[in-house]
Amino acid sequence: MLTMANLRHVLVIPFPAQGHVTPLLKLSCCIADYGAKVTFVNTESIHAQVMAANPGLDEGSNRIKFVTIPDGLETDEERKDPTKMLTSILRVMPGHLQELIEKVKKQSNGNEDEPISFMIADLTAGWALEVAERMGIKRAGFWPASVSTLALTLHIPQLIEGGVIDNNGIALKNDIITIWKDLPPYKSNDFTWKCPEDPMTQKVFFQCVSSIPLYRKRSNSVLCNSFHELEASAISVIPGALPIGPLIASARLFHLRGSLWNEDSTCLKWLDQHPAQSVIYVAFGSTSVFSPEQFYELAHGLEQIARPFLWVVRPDLTDRPVTEFLDGFLQRVRNYGKVVQWAPQEEVLAHHSVACFFTHCGWNSTLEGLSNGVPLLCRPYFGDQFLNRSFVCDVWRVGLGVDGDENGVATRHEVRTKMLAVLGSEEIRANCLRVKEMARKSVSEGGSSLMNLQSFIKHTIA
């Protein structure tokens, strides 16, 4: 590994959620590997969760220091309320971040630490870039979702101005929107601010993503967790977009990906007992929430397929208790099914026994599936996951979507039918292997993403 001298002290700040902490922590590891010192800023509550789930993480790398700032909220209940959460973050975090940077600077005068001279901030926490700009600190944005999502998001002002969407992000004219001729058209069903379960949250979410085009102007470059060969057209329409992904944890970094929950690694031994490409892995990320009705249909679908499956059922995966049902279900599927509360997902997807990934299409999960050549069955829940599904099914053709019935519920019949179709499709498997190879090359020596990262470090952080 090439180490560069005189790299700056870099402050890295994610939006406080699993799908944002994980990729930025992986990026921090890469930068630290080249010799930079990194200060990683979490909210107090996320920090407590990460440290509880990963004992010894803060001693894991002496070039990454974990620090915290408050999010202004008292309880986890408040943190689950998007309006309270987003309002509080904007109200208190910029001030605390500025104080933190000033504190490090004061300490550095006493020679305890080097002052922070570069910031990498999640564009969804883009207020941090404004703090950096005010304080004269060089900076870059980071985008944790697909570049196609970023292209749509950056175009929001023009969409409102052109009367294509209203101020709440609702389509006014057509259901199909062409933004750039080289990009596939966007469907209003795939709007990345979509929250079908909750129109109020959608409104708040849209206000939040509407700030991103302004935040984007605060930095010249945006590091993106994607790769050129996957999203060439979208990358080409965003000046300064620098694809450096997929940010995939190598075995050396598995313990540094910052899970917010304890990973149950008994599932890896369970996977060892299964033949190659025999297990269905089911996981819907950190935020999806199902009604009991939807949960029952998913469970019955898996039961009817009657193949080995590993299912991540977070304690808060359903909005009402399903304990009694789950007990009976586990009893019935005990010979071929395993349920855990949180899995070491990247190790699971890299395991030879995994045949298919039933996913919500969060961008990290999508990339992890693609990087391991695993066919996807898609059941998006909110936000960019709908657009990710469209790319998986229609552009890269590495999976199929599960549709909802007239009540939006994906039935057991639909789950079973589509799952069997994915498992039986040679075309999908061949496409998966092709994309896996492209992903591997992009982060290997001489690959597009690795070269972008090295150039960024050499010319921007040095």
- Closest contact distance (angstroms) between CB of 3 and ligand UDX is 27
363 near ligand UDX, judged by CB under 6 A: yes
10 near ligand UDX, judged by CB under 6 A: no
Q: How far is CA 449 from CA 12, 128, 313, 440, in A?
A: 20, 25, 34, 10
Judged by beta carbon, residue 50 or residue 355, the one nearer ligand UDX is 50
Q: CA 223, CA 244: separation in Å to the nearest integer?
A: 6
Judged by beta carbon, residue 156 or residue 361, the one nearer ligand UDX is 361
Q: What is the DSSP code (8-state) at residue 165?
A: B
- Closest contact distance (angstroms) between CB of 104 and ligand UDX is 28
Q: Which of 342, 358, 386, 396 binds ligand UDX (CB under 6 A)?
A: 342
Binding positions for ligand UDX, 145-164, rule CB under 6 A = 145
Judged by beta carbon, residue 104 or residue 439, the one nearer ligand UDX is 439
Q: Which of 225, 263, 255 is nearest to 241 (CA)?
A: 225
Q: What is the dihedral of CA 28, 31, 35, 36, to 10 degrees?
A: -70
Q: Which of 118, 122, 95 is nearest to 225 (CA)?
A: 122
Q: Which of 14, 285, 369, 447 binds ligand UDX (CB under 6 A)?
A: 285
- Closest contact distance (angstroms) between CB of 411 and ligand UDX is 23
Structure tokens at 362: 């969060």
Q: Which of 39, 61, 221, 287 binds ligand UDX (CB under 6 A)?
A: 287
CB 399 within 8 A of CB 378: yes
Judged by beta carbon, residue 366 or residue 411, the one nearer ligand UDX is 366
Q: Would you call 398 helix, strand, or coil by DSSP?
A: coil
Q: CA 68, CA 263: separation in Å to the nearest integer?
A: 23
Q: Which of 116, 174, 181, 186 is nearest to 150 (CA)?
A: 186
Binding positions for ligand UDX, 250-269, rule CB under 6 A = 259
- Closest contact distance (angstroms) between CB of 62 and ligand UDX is 25
Which window, 37-45, 53-61, 362-370, 430-438, contacts ligand UDX (CB under 6 A)? 362-370
245 near ligand UDX, judged by CB under 6 A: no
Q: Which of 93, 69, 59, 65 is nearest to 9 (CA)?
A: 65
Q: Number of helices (H) and strands (E), helices first, in the chain?
A: 20, 15
Judged by beta carbon, residue 318 or residue 411, the one nearer ligand UDX is 318
286 near ligand UDX, judged by CB under 6 A: yes
Which window, 46-54, 324-332, 378-386, 442-450, contacts ligand UDX (CB under 6 A)? 378-386
Cα angle 348, 352, 356; round to 5: 65
Q: Which of 345, 411, 442, 449 binds ligand UDX (CB under 6 A)?
A: 345
18 near ligand UDX, judged by CB under 6 A: yes
Q: Which of 14, 362, 401, 447 binds ligand UDX (CB under 6 A)?
A: 362
- Closest contact distance (angstroms) between CB of 384 and ligand UDX is 5
CB 39 within 8 A of CB 121: no
Binding positions for ligand UDX, 76-135, rule CB under 6 A = none
384 near ligand UDX, judged by CB under 6 A: yes
**Could you give the string, one character per residue 293-322, with x where binding to ligand UDX holds by CB under 6 A and - elsewhere?**
-------------------x----------
Burial class (CB in 10 A: 0-12, 13-18, 19+), 340: buried
Q: What is the dihedral of CA 283, 68, 98, 31, to 10 degrees?
A: -60
Name the H helices within 155-279: 156-161, 199-210, 212-216, 232-236, 266-272
- Closest contact distance (angstroms) between CB of 219 and ligand UDX is 19
CB 319 within 8 A of CB 347: no
Amino acid residing at 350: A
Which window, 109-117, 239-247, 285-293, 413-421, contacts ligand UDX (CB under 6 A)? 285-293
Name the H helices within 110-230: 127-134, 147-154, 156-161, 199-210, 212-216
- Closest contact distance (angstroms) between CB of 458 and ligand UDX is 28
Instruction: List residues binding ligand UDX (CB under 6 A).
Output: 17-20, 22, 144-145, 259, 283, 285-287, 312, 342-343, 345-346, 362-365, 368, 383-385
